[in-house]
Structure 1
Amino acid sequence: MSGVLVIRTPSGLSGDMLLAGLAVMAGQAADIGSVLAATGLPLPHGAVEIRPHALQGISGWQARVRLPHEHAHRHLGDILALIEASRLATPAKAVAARAFTLLAEAEGAVHGCPPGKIAFHEVGALDSILDTCLAAELLVRIAPDRLVCSPLPLCDGTVRCAHGLLPTPAPAVQELLRGVPVCGLASIGETVTPTAIAFLRAAGFVFGDWPEMVIRQTARIYGGRVLPGVPNGALFALGDAVPAPAKHRPHDPAGPDSESS
């Protein structure tokens, strides 16, 4: 495949939503178990399912992840070693490793620690590793030439994490959002997860309006929670860039095609 991949996030984005959207765009939604098995990641069979889902009568897709709860806290080196030992495509390894490095740098900036000393809590859990690594592998299979995402929506509220109850956006999210265009959303709570932001940055998405393109396929992707007053859904679209108009050189009457006198 090739072309332009667009993600529009009117109500936010999570790692699960990225995984579901990229699976549908890659034509791998029904076969996501085989994709996971091919990566060699130490995750159980049946850990993820991409299934049809409807909200307010509008059909779409949703990822369902089933993994055991872990109490272990992984460091960046542990996760990078897991990625390197996998059978992910080499470009997918690079994206996944970059995403977790960005997460470690953000957490390090918040806590005043070197990135390698950070003990991941939520983002070190198996589901975040699954989301990031599988999303990276699927993106490589799609192989788009251009990646575009809408500005990311933010709103006030709170989020509960390993450090307790924090205002949104959480400190690590604030660090990850440096240089990223954002917009306001009339709701409460966390709208964009650290895993999603880190992946978008690691993969090289640019943030802005819809590009000129001819759309080939679209999919509406739903998350696992519904924000008050906001329909939960992101739009993924894959298509072809509209070529720039050809520039015709004006005819030169004195050129080689003109008659000699």
Structure 2
Amino acid sequence: MTNEYHHSHHDQSHCNIGVSHHHHEHGKHSEQGYKLKAGKKVLTIRSHSGLSGDMFLCGLIRTLGLSSQETDNILNGIFPALKGSVQLVKKEVNHIAGWHCSVQLPHEHQHRNLDDIFKIISQAQLSEKAKSYAVSAFSFVAEAEAAVHSLNIEEVHFHEVGALDSILDICLTCELFVRLNPDYFVVSPLPIADGVIHCAHGFIPSPAPAVQALLAGIPVRPFGAEGETITPTALALLKAFNPTFGGWPMIVVEKISTIYGTYTYPEVPNGALFVYGTSYV
């Protein structure tokens, strides 16, 4: 799902946001591979056709084995209006079964700036580590939008649906990531496609400008279809979690889930694998 942001040139907020950015070396990777200590818990995402906020969410729900009720309870603690908005559904692509997150958001007519979002995060029933990750991820999104539209970060406004969508994806994903608490997080280089994306600003080339603004330091690879493969929300989450990028880690697999996004790309591998296990020498 693509978040759309409406921006205003009226400087409505002069607040000092006071964000603690996590600008450490994003995208740790090495041509020689990487070493994991044995006996550690490892999460790896093998991204075949890309990654979105709802795919990230779906993969973590499946890996943790959460019920709809447990997911709803967390959502209710983040923002009560979001309760009941996420449904795990089975989805098949080319007769291969997997999982998809169906997200139905309530209608709200409210624009929010970054300070409004931070207030929601601070009041949410989230672990402190999850709040820190969520602040970091939202900061990355806002910085990208500000760069794209030549705004100050305080001027970036999240449109109604885009804001709720981002609050749900980012806050819930951060909480679930903290609950899973992997010792290592390994992600495959991200597939990036050419093509055209239709958004609020008209037709734009892929990758979208907000994605471009977030790609520095991220290993990418070509993809054999066209369209938006990586959303700004997914990239912001990855940058907040600071994974190692590379090939499959040496792990004993304990859980593996095939996760699909909303869009199906023809004649190429679809979805992403979320794999959880224990490292060995």
TM range (shorter): 0.7 to 0.9
Q: Does 1:55 align with 2:93?
A: yes
Output the amino acid matched with 1:168: S
Q: Does 1:45 align with 2:83?
A: yes
1:236 maps to 274
Distance in 2 (CA, whole Å) between partners of 1:43 and 1:18 is 21
More deviation, 139-148/68-77: 68-77
Partners of 1:33 and 1:49 within 8 A in 2 = no
2:73 maps to 34
Partners of 1:74 and 1:124 within 8 A in 2 = no
Write out aligned runs for 1:185-200 (5 A): 185-200=223-238
Output the amino acid matched with 2:157: A
Cα shift at 1:231: 3.8
Q: C-alpha offsets along residues 107-161 of structure 1, whole Å, 9 cap, x if unaligned? A: 1122222212111348843122101111111111111011111111111111122
Distance in 2 (CA, whole Å) between partners of 1:101 and 1:45 is 25
2:34 maps to none
Distance 1:190 1:92, change over 3 A: same
Segments ≥4 residues shifted beyond 6 Å? none
Q: Does 1:157 align with 2:195?
A: yes
1:119 maps to 157
Q: C-alpha offsets along residues 23-61 of structure 1, whole Å, 9 cap, x if unaligned? A: 111111443222322x23132431111132222222211
Distance in 2 (CA, whole Å) between partners of 1:101 and 1:229 is 36
Could you say what the CA RMSD is over the residues aligned between the two structures, in angstroms? 1.7
Q: Calculate percent identity across the aligned residue pairs.
A: 49
| Corresponding pairs, count | 241
Write out aligned runs for 1:96-111 (5 A): 96-111=134-149
Larger radius of gyration: 1
Instruction: Between the two structures, name the one with larger relative contact order (CA 8 Å, sep ≥ 6).
Output: 2
Q: Could you list the runs of 5+ residues in structure 1 that have no partner in the other structure? A: 244-261
Distance in 2 (CA, whole Å) between partners of 1:225 and 1:29 is 25
2:16 maps to none
Cα shift at 1:70: 4.3
Cα shift at 1:230: 2.5
Which of residues 154, 164, 172 is equivalent to 1:134? 172
2:33 maps to none
1:74 maps to 112
Alignment partner of 1:62: what SS? strand
Distance in 2 (CA, whole Å) between partners of 1:66 and 1:95 is 24
Distance in 2 (CA, whole Å) between partners of 1:71 and 1:189 is 29
Q: C-alpha offsets along residues 152-182 of structure 1, whole Å, 9 cap, x if unaligned? A: 1111111122222211101110010111000
Output the amino acid matched with 1:22: L
Q: Could you list the runs of 5+ residues in structure 2 that have no partner in the other structure? A: 1-39
Distance 1:72 1:227, change over 3 A: farther
More deviation, 19-28/227-236: 227-236
